[in-house]
Every structure is written in structure tokens, then in C-alpha cells.
Structure 1
């Protein structure tokens, strides 16, 4: 009895722990940089303690990215292809997800190229940062230099060996293979494929549980990674971080206050003000939980009762959107990758940025609808383009606030899509389906 009481006792919320880890890492690193920059013990501390702790966290993220993306994409395609849901609504939902998510990523990439939040770091400071872990950084940079270009990029989308692609961290090839698997599983409606899809659902559920466990270690990783970086860089890194947060919030604001209202007004024939008034409960829930999945019950209720979306459309679009329609997450992934590329002085060509756009769109579809679900995808994309993945430690310190903001955009995108698709399907649905529940 006593053990149950102890287990039921609520602990400190994770975002407070993240904030404490952020503060400890930054303050400790700044003090170390100010007073002990040349001390041998500080170099030993960062080399043998704080940096390995941060690297262990990153390795845990890398461990999960392939099974997470593979299982999430297969389930997303299979759910779209359900015979009871396939057809007009499924096609329109998929089109909405792809188009609106692409718009979101484009906004993010344009914002980073315009505001350049990762530039401005003194050359000597950047050189010092890049010098750490020379062997590991050299390997990552070599991968970036050897990255194919032109027609080879298109050919490499189709893997010769999907197992080798997964082992080599070729995320876009794994995504293509997962999409093909999902489409085939949709076409073949046999007992074997149903068992396979159930097994994939089990893999996805396990990945979500593991991500939850890994994210619990994030406060310690934040403290370790930020101590390592700020001890070597000093206050310069905080200026870059503030510019990054401003860029993300501005890009999310453009998508939220301009793109969504225009789509609602033009295609949904609904007043944006009326939409935002009706959608407030779901948006507030999304902001407080940072989880599209946790917000889903509220999203469904709001879409049906407050926004007048036909019941079949609301249930299909919002349920699928909770796992596949991640506009804000895809935007955040694109801004993060380009920001860290600028921060570390890694030049990305226009072709590479277009490839990042495609990866972020697919990564947004494959990201888990839980707090921190996009982190494994970001870590893998960073490694693919020769950007040191330990830079993700900078992002983790402010990720809770940005996660809250982008989840609001994700959930609002689900409801806006339900309104637009529901309006186009109103004449095709039976009257009972469009009537509000008793």
C-alpha cells in the first residue's frame, strides 16, 4: 500500500527539469569559461564527463530513428488506405498534409536564409568548436563532402539494399522503402498483412515508450551538452540561441496567422476569426500538453461541435493528422537543421536544402505525436549533411517552449484541414453523418 502511494505521488514536471538542466549547464559553463578557460581540469571534465554524457543521449536518439520512422510511415499509409476510408476523403487528406506541410517547411527555410540566425559567431570561436572531437567531426564532415549530387540524389532515393540503407543512416531511402511497404500492405488485405501491420503497430508503440524513457534523460543531457558548449564558447552561444528561438517563433507565426486563415477563407469558406474562437479549447490543450496525440480527444470534440465538421471527416482527418499532419514539427526541423549548419559553418547548396525540405516533410509525417518526437529525425538529418549532431544540445534547452508552440500549429492544421475537407464533402455525405451527436 505504501509503495503505491509513493508511486502515485506526482514528481516535478519534465519541462521544469529541462529548465533546471538548461540553467545549470549555461551558468556552469559560463562561469567555467570566464574563470577557468585554460584550466586542465576543465578540459578533462568536458572531454571525459560532460561530452560523453551528451553523446550517450544522442546515441539513444539515433538508436530509435529507423524503427520509429519505418513503423510510423507504414501505419500512416495503411490508415489512409483503409477500404472504409480510402477514396475522396483519403486523397484530399493526403493532399492537404503534403501541400500544407511543404508550405510550412518552405516558410521555415526562407526565414533561416533571410534572418541567418546561426551566423555571426567569430571565426576563432567556431574553429575552436569544430576542433573538438576531431576524429568524430572529421568522419561526419567527410560524409557531407562525399554526399552525391544531381541525378544520383534521385537514384539514391530507391535503395538497392534497404537493410544497408538503414545501417548507413540513409533516412530518405528508408522512408521510400517504408512508403512502398505501406502501399503494398494496403493493397494486399490478407491475414498475413493484417498480422504484419499489427506487428508494426507494436514496434511503433515500443518506440514511443522508449522515446518517453529517453526524454526523461534529457535534463541531464541538456546540462552536459550546454556546459560543454558554453564552457568553450562563452556568451556568444546564448546570442545565437536567442536568434534561433526568434526565427522559429516568427516562422510558426507566419504559418499560423497567414497561411491557415487564407486556406480557411479561400477553400473552407469559413471566417478565420470564427475558426480560432471555436478552436481555442484544442489549441490551449495542445499548448499545455505539447502532444498532438494527447490533444486528440479535445480536437475531435471541437471539430465536430464547435467547427461543424461532419463526423466521418472529423474522425478520419483529425485522427490521421495527430500522427501524420505535423506542419509545425516539419517547419521546426527545417529551421533547426539550417540553423545548426550556419552555426557550425557548414555550407549547404540549394540542392541540399531542397533535399532537406523533402526530408523534413517526410519526417514531419513520420514524427511521433508526443513531446520530443521530432528529435530522433533531426539528429539523423544533421548527421546526413555533415552537421555535428551534438549541436542538438543547444536546441534541447529551449525545446519545451518551442514544442508547445509547434504543437499548437500541428493541431490547428488538423482542424483547419478537417474544416476544408468537410466543406468539400458536405454534399456527398449522408445527412446523419453531418448532424451533431446527441
Structure 2
């Protein structure tokens, strides 16, 4: 039940007196500066190729492989547990269904907005194809294996049928993320339907244990992120030079524009139309949650503040607010879904991979589902982005481009995640029979 960031304990954890986010920032700066120096002074030198091929490249690949190793059990367990928890509160079944429906609708709007921005502004265009191919070769054996599988990706009716896996083990071994997510959602529904049986409760507890173990292991792996960031940025800067900085600034600008549109255009429209609330008053009431979300980059750490604001500022029914905000912290991650969509299309443009409308719709669907199952750890959306990249034929190692700026964007998208949860709670509360009158009073306040 976290945003796409670290929880309070993880955020406070320090190694050698320096917090993890600053270690990643240091790795980003050192790798970028070192790569730019090499690009300016020894571009194309044999020793540079030796270092990137046998030292920095393999280190980055080990980091990616560790994430790939954990992402399937993590996403499976997160989705199953999330669906199972929705079915545990029987008195709120109606609220749960409405919450789930609104989550899908709002998340779809969020991803569509992000896809429109990245298609219109195209921040990844303009890179020399030869350099992009050099980066593709540098992606390593792991990325190439994923890319080889994507050439066999079904299309048309076969693509629709492939959503339902005939063999879940095969789907997992092929990193077929859509099929795995479908199975996880179906499996979660099965747990809800049989939750009264003791054996099912034991199974659920076991899956929750799998989730905790996977989360813990990804927390351990992410400790390698500063070194991986250095290696990624060194390789990328040595290959692309100053053009890298221009492309990164364009990428950050597009992400912020998409997040801002969702926050200040889509959310106000939803509040006015569905909840009959004043957006200005709503943002005033929730500004404390925004500050907390930005500073902690964690909707888990912000959840107590959100619950208090829902009760004292927004005057939402406590039972509705507790349910929607708690579930929404996992399932309603608009900012995470938007970041994933922009990142995938940005990197596709960067490497000259043109995605068809069908592929972009596929990206949209996976981003919506990926937002539900994204791990609440630093760079938690990284494994999902990497898998989507492999699905659409873009080298997964290209995510190294965005690792260095991920922390700042994490803070921004967590604000959208938290405010989106409060918007969702407000809309759901307005639909409850005993809160309509109260909602009207609040809207006129």
C-alpha cells in the first residue's frame, strides 16, 4: 500500500551516513560527468569500448537481471493480495466495486493523457540511429534475449487470446506480463469467492508472505542502484555526449506536463462533475498531504495524513475514507501509470522503434495494471517499465537513461498518486446515500 517510492523506514535508512536517494544522485552525477569527459576526450577509443563492454556494462546487466528475477513473483503476489483485500470487507462491497471501476477509468484517462503528450511532443526524437544501435548492442545478452522473444509477439486476434494464458508457468518463464497479471487477477477473485475456508486463508497468508519476501529482496537489490546508475550513465554519456542532457530535459518536461494536466485539469473536472465539489477548496484542504507526499515520495508514509485530512478537512465518512484510501494507495497510482507510459514511449522514440496503435494500447493497458502491482520501493516502477520495453521491442537496458532523474519524478508522481486517492475517496463518498447532502454543503463552503 505504498506509492512508487520508499516507505518511511526505507527513506530513513542510510548507508555510510548518506541516504540512498543521495547515493543514487551521486552515482548519476559521477557517471554523467565521467562519461561526458570520455566522450569529449576519447570518443571511440579502444579502451573505452573495453571498459563499457567488460566492466560497466556487465555491472548494469547484473542489476537488471536481479530485478527481472524478482518482478514476476512480486507483481503476482501484489495483485493477488490487493484483490483479496478488497473482498474481505463485505459491508463495503458496493464501495469496493465503485472504487475499482473509478480507479480503472481515472487511470485510463491518466495514461491516455501521457500518451498524447509524448506522441505530440516526441521528446525522444532526433538521436543518431547509429548511436542508438550502438546502445542496443550494449544492452547485453539479457536484453537481447528479451528482444528476441518480442519478435514472436502475437498480433490481432492472437494478441487478444494470448491475454489468457494456457500455461501460467510458461507465461512466467517468457515474462509475459499481461498473461501473468490476468492470472493474478483471476486467482485473486478465486480467493475472494472461497475466503471463508481455512485452507484458503492459509494460502492467502502464504501469498502475503511471498509478497513480503519479494519486497524485502527488491529492497536489497535496489541497494546496488547507485553503482548501477553510475554504470548506466557512464555508458550512455560516453555514447551520446551532450545530446543525452537535451533528451533527458525534454523527457522530464513531458512527464511534468502530463502530471500537471492530470492534477489541474482532469481532477478538477472529476470533482465538479462527479462529486459536486469546489476544486479550489479541495486543493486547499489537501495541501498538507501534497507536501507530505512530495517530501517523503511515499503514499504509505502519507496515508495517516491523508486519512486525517479526509476526516477533518474533507469530512468524508470514516469507513469509506479508510477503505478507499487504503486500497487506493495500492491500486490507484495515476502518477506511476503516467510515468511508465511516458517512459516506454520516450525510450521507443529514442531508439527509433515506431510503435503501432495496437502496441500503444497494449502499453496503456499494462501501465494501468502495472500501477496496481508496482512495488513500493525506490525505483519500484523500474521492473515494470523494463518488462514493457522488452514486450514492444525496445532494449530494457535503456531504462538507465531515466534512473538518474527518477527520484525527482518519483516525488512528483507520488503527489499525484496521493491526491488521486483523495479525489477517488471524495467521489465514492458523494455516491453514498448518507453523504449526498454533506457533499453539497462542502461544495458550497
Q: TM-score, normalised by structure 2?
A: 0.92
- 1:121 aligns with 127
SS at match of 1:308: coil
Match of 1:280 in 2: 287
Partner of 1:166: 172
Partner of 2:275, secondary structure, is coil
User: Among residues 141, 153, 156, which one is paired with 2:159 in the alignment?
Assistant: 153
- 1:199 match: 206
8 Å Cα contact 1:157-1:173 kept in structure 2? yes
Is the 2:111–2:337 Cα contact (8 Å) retained in structure 1? yes
Shift of 1:357: 0.7
Distance (whole Å) between structure 1 residues aligned to residue 319 and residue 378 of structure 2: 28
Aligned to 1:222: 229
CA contact (8 A) 2:61 2:140 kept: no
Question: Residues 267 and 235 (structure 1 numbering): CA distance in 2 closer, same or farther, change over 3 Å?
Answer: same
Quick check: 332-341 or 213-222, which moved more?
Answer: 213-222
Matching residue of 1:76: 82
Pairwise CA distance, 1:351: 0.4
- Aligned position for 2:316: 309
Q: Distance in 1 between matches of 2:435 and 2:164?
A: 38
**Matched-pair contact (CA < 8 Å) for 1:85–1:316:** no
Q: Answer with 409-418 or 55-64: which moved more.
A: 55-64
Q: Which shifted more, 332-341 or 365-374?
A: 365-374
Change (3 A) 1:325 1:85: farther
Q: Which residue of 2 is the match for residue 16 of structure 1?
A: 22
Equivalent pair of 1:74/1:181 in contact (CA under 8 Å):
yes
1:129 Cα deviation from its structure 2 partner: 2.6
Summarize the Cα distance change of 1:314–1:134 in structure 2 as closer, same or farther, 3 Å threshold.
closer
Q: Secondary structure at the match of 2:346?
A: helix
Q: CA deviation at 1:85?
A: 4.3
Q: In the alignment, which residue of structure 2 is the partner of 1:434? A: none
Match of 1:28 in 2: 34
Shift of 1:379: 1.2
Q: Give how far 1:114 is off.
A: 0.4
Asked if structure 2 preserves the Cα contact closer than 8 Å seen for 1:129 and 1:233, the reply is no
The equivalent residue for 1:381 is 388
Q: Following superposition of structure 1 onto structure 2, how do residues 288-437 of structure 1 map, counting pairs within 5 Å?
A: 288-427=295-434
Query: Which residue of structure 1 lines up, in the alignment, with residue 215 of structure 2?
Result: 208
- Aligned counterparts of 1:128 and 1:197: Cα–Cα separation in 2: 46
Query: How far apart, in 1, do the equivalents of 2:414 and 2:74 lie?
Result: 19
8 Å CA contact 1:290, 1:370 repeated in 2: no
In structure 2, do the counterparts of structure 1 residues 376 and 135 end up closer, same or farther at CA, with 3 Å as the change threshold?
closer
For structure 2, the 5+ residue unaligned runs are: 1-12, 439-445
Residue in structure 1 matching 2:150, options 141, 144, 149: 144
CA distance in 1, matches of 2:140, 2:208: 40
Please report how far the alpha carbon of residue 312 of structure 1 lies from its aligned counterpart in structure 2 after TM superposition.
Answer: 0.4
Quote the Cα distance in structure 2 between the aligned partners of 1:212 and 1:399.
Answer: 16
Q: What's the RMSD between the two structures over aligned residues?
A: 1.8
CA distance in 2, matches of 1:381, 1:8: 31
8 Å CA contact 1:383, 1:389 repeated in 2: yes
Equivalent residue for 1:242?
249
Q: Counterpart of 1:175?
A: 181
- Do 2:310 and 2:321's aligned partners in 1 also have CA atoms closer than 8 Å? yes
Q: Which consecutive segments of 4 or more residues in structure 1 shift more than 6 A?
A: 7-10
Residues 350 and 334 (structure 1), Cα distance of their counterparts in 2 relative to 1, 3 Å cut: same
Residues 388-422 of structure 1, C-alpha deviations (whole Å, 9 max, x = no match): 11111111100000000000000001001111111
2:234 and 2:258 map into 1 onto residues whose CA distance is 29
Unaligned runs of 5+ in 1: 1-6, 432-438
The reply on whether 1:87 has 2:107 as its aligned counterpart is no
